Every structure is written in structure tokens, then in C-alpha cells.
Amino acid sequence: MVSRVTWISRVTRITLVSRVTLVSRVTRITTRVTTGHARIALPGIAREYQRMVDEHAGRVRANVTSAQALGVTDVTRLKQALEQKTKKKVILEQNTDPELIAGMVTQIGSIVYDGSIRTRLQQMRQTLLRGD
């Protein structure tokens, strides 16, 4: 048997369900907007929700990219240094990028600490080109 409600749009179904279940107006509007733009909105919403949960729990996520995989000792020292700097528990996410040549790039939120040789060489090149 074919369902008779298949012709009702997704937005209409969500609106009907939210009215029957007494969902708040804000939740209804948010659901309607994200349903229409799910591929665009949902990843950003999930990231922001995770950030808020982490903030509430006193955590911060740090993304560390190094030229080579870091050893256990290096990871421990880096995590301790970041926890002292941020005064929060750090969840360290590690990546490697051989194009950094050596060193690492650490990002916490919008703050980036770049200690890579690639960046140092780019800065030296710019200085030489300017004639400083």
C-alpha cells in the first residue's frame, strides 16, 4: 500500500508535526530553515553545538598539524603547554602535512600558532624581496 502523504513536502510535514507536538516557535523556524538547506547548515550547526558542549565542560579542541607524526612525549608536552595557556582541558586532534618541512601549526578556535619551517622560509623570502 502506498502512503497518501508522500506528496506533502518535507517542510509541510515538519510544520505539521511541530504544531501537533507543541514545539517552540524558535525550534520550528530553525527546523524549517535547516531542512531546506541541510547540506549547508547541519555541519556548521553540529560544529557549533560541539563547541558549546566543550565550553560548558571546560574543554577546548586544538588542531595540530606537523610535518611528521609527533611522538607520545611531544604530544604530552604540547597538550600540557596548551592547557596551561588556555586554562582548559585540551582535546588534541593531530594531522600531518609533509609540506610544512618541519615544525608544527596549532589552531585553537580562530587563533593559529605557526612554527613551521615552510612559513619561516616564506617570511624570509618576502623580507628578501622587499629588501629589508
Residues 47-75 have pLDDT tens digits of 888 888 999 999 999 999 999 999 999 99
- What strand order describes the sheet that includes 111-114? 89-96, 59-66, 104-108, 111-114
Residue 1: pLDDT band (50, 70, 90) is very low
Q: What is the pTM of this model?
A: 0.64
| C-alpha cell read off for 77 | 608536552
The pair phi, psi for residue 49, each rounded to 5°, is -60, -45
Rounded to whole angstroms, the Cα distance separating 131 from 122 reads 14
The pair phi, psi for residue 58, each rounded to 5°, is 75, 30
Residue 96: pLDDT band (50, 70, 90) is very high
In this predicted structure, the answer to whether residue 26 has a pLDDT above a threshold of 90 is no
Mean pLDDT across the stretch 15-32? 67
Supply the pLDDT for residue 36: 64
Residue 93: pLDDT band (50, 70, 90) is very high
Residue 39: pLDDT band (50, 70, 90) is low
- List the domain boundaries for the chain: 61-130
Mean pLDDT of the chain: 83
Residue 88 and residue 111 in contact, taking contact as beta carbons nearer than 8 Å: no
Query: Which letter does DSSP use for residue 19 in this model?
Result: H
Name which of 17-31, 37-51, 84-98, 108-122 the model is least confident about: 17-31
